[in-house]
Amino acid sequence: MTAGLWQHWVLPGIWITVQLTVYSAALAAAVAFGVGIARTHRSCLVRFLAAAYTEIFRGTSALVLMFWLFFVLPPLAGWQLVPMWAAVLALGLSYGAYGAEIVRGALNAVAPAQREAGIALSFTPWQRMRLVLLPQAVPEMIPPFCNLLIELLKGTALVSLLGVGDVSFAAYLVRLATQDSAQIYSVTLVIYFVLAFGITRGMKALERRTKANLGVASQ
């Protein structure tokens, strides 16, 4: 693979993959915490709507949703999403539904005595969530969130089907140009591994920090 192919296709593809991962992860995190907290709400209606969202988006394909947002939504809404943002929306909404279950599970795992202590201190529901429940639940969310983030990174390869120039699409173009599949796809595997390893180390450091704030030793 020549330096020109690396500079003009592969490196920009890596940058687009990183951008897609960051933007989709930010949307997925917002959805996960919003829907996950709603799953523990006192209102039956709120819990039902949050559960419906989770089941719908966990039960549909992120790829099909991406195509729906890009090809079906424009005639209905009268405006066109660029492929990049159609991909971010599809990935963020889909993976956010999985993340919501992580948030719900971690919140429900907090000891009931902690909730009762917040009530005894006359905390409002939001104060109990912010000051008591989330600080204890977040460290337990980080390992499964790490796995989900790595899956999201690998899921960004789906955007190549919309013609977005991520690292997978760049690898496809390089293969067409050089007719050498082994080299470019081996390099692509290494690129994904390096990105995933960076995510793993970063999330591990975040886990240690959040547990240290609670006085808990991280393994």
Tokens 């949050």 correspond to: 50
Angle, helices 44-58/11-38, rounded to nearest 10 degrees: 150
Q: What is the 3-state secondary structure (H, E, C) of 22-77?
A: HHHHHHHHHHHHHHHHHCCCCCHHHHHHHHHHHHHHHCCCHHHHHHHHHHHHHHHH
Mean pLDDT, the chain, whole residue set: 90
Q: What is the pLDDT of residues 129-143, one digit of tens each?
A: 888 899 999 999 999
- Report whether pLDDT(217) > 70: no
Please give the model's pTM, rounded to 2 decimal places: 0.91
Tokens of 210: 């959040």
Question: Residue 194 in contact with residue 185, Cβ under 8 Å?
Answer: no
